[in-house]
Amino acid sequence: MKNRADCRETDDGSYVITGGRPLYGEVEIMSAKNSLLPLIACSVMTEGEVFLSRCEPTSDAENMLGILRSLGGICRFENGGIYIDGRPISGCEVGCGPAGKLRSSVFILGPLIARLRRAEICYPGGCEIGPRPIDLHISGLRALGADVREDGGRVLCDGRNLRGGRVELPFPSVGATENLMMAAARAPGHTVILGAAAEPEIADLQNFINACGGKVRGAGSRRIEVDGVSSLHGASFDPSGDRIAAGTYLIAGAMCGGEVTVRGVDSSHLCRLTEKLRAAGARVTERTDGVTVSGDGELHSPGKVETGPYPGFPTDLQSPVTALCACAKGTSYIIENLFENRFRAAQQLIKMGADITVCGRAATVRGRRLYGADVKAEDLRGGAALVLAALEAEGRSVVSGLSHIRRGYYDFAGRLASLGADITVCNKIT
């Protein structure tokens, strides 16, 4: 078995990183992965052509498009975005292969029920960051008149009696909110979703449905109302910038020192992160279309970081900010309220010299100098955290497990290298 450096990122490759270099430059942020996946699924309901702009072929996006193709849809990346024609779709069954690759495959339930009044999918896969049950999706769809059964690892939905209704979510689940919005968009009658999630991606979905002729209002609040329509037409739509990718690059800039600007993202979506970066000693400048972070890389503890539903600190940035705390002077406290296995990267960070003690859903992080090591990504955001730690650490690191990182970051190494990072891709060959 031999290795060679290659600019292409493959699932079985690794990043080779020599840390200690400051970062300078700009990163243009593309459409949010967490918006894009439900928007692709929602295109199933339209009777026309859809174009989603500023999209990149992350593996999650590719897998969601693969699900649409398996149902009969036409879709491809073109002109810097995604073209979708869902009119040929007639299938309503998503096999275990496609569903097993992607947690967000569950988003196809609402659109298929709304359009074809029937859906059958295997339980979705994705990163193993803790139980993410779809019980809120199922109970919500039942409240809208769908007959939902679970049978041998499959979810079977009969939507012939789909109608508007009142749904009260006991927890502001983003995925359940989005699935219910999509199902209700073509269900006869009026739907009220109480306890809805308020993330920016919810507003993206509302605006897309409305651009296609739907009638949804209230996104951004805990109460969303939907008046069902009989059909939706195609549309061109520009999703919001990826606040999680933007936050990742900002954390990298704060950890390494220098000056990094992210553009194409609403700075208000990053306010909880920028508060913590300032608390850690970084300089932050917010603009209407982006954020700049600068400093000398000498950080101190930001104190307590506690994740929560939007507008709380995003769980998707908890792992990257844990990497920041690992090299910041002082003691930090991380509390994870959403996913119990979000600290999987801690053991890998400890290989780099980090002093992290995990107890349940809380971690105590005592900042110290990090050094290079061979580490392995075990989930998407944890993998990004390992890359950031390697950029700051003294010496050479090898980060493997790129299949996880590629789910949400396209050309991660290339963008970091453009900022001055010493990072190359090494792909295995026989």
Cα–Cα distance, 133 to 135 (Å, whole number): 5
Residue count of the chain, please give it: 430
**Of 357, 362, 349, residue with least CA distance to 399:** 349
Q: What are phi and psi of 26, to 5 degrees?
A: -125, 150
Contacts of 347 (CB under 8 A, 6+ apart): none
Amino acid letter for position 202? I
Q: Do the beta carbons of residue 320 and residue 307 sit within 8 Å?
A: no
Which residue intervals of 101-173 are DSSP H helices?
109-116, 135-143
Pull the structure tokens for residue 198: 């308020």
DSSP 359-419: ETTEEEEE----B--EEE--SHHHHHHHHHHHHHSBSEEEEE-HHHHTTT-SSHHHHHHHT
Cα dihedral: 94, 98, 104, 105 (round 10): 0
Cα–Cα distance, 288 to 268 (Å, whole number): 9
Give me the residues paired with residue 21 across strands.
none
426 is catalytic: no
Name the catalytic one among 75, 122, 127, 325: 127
Q: Which residues are tagged catalytic?
A: 127
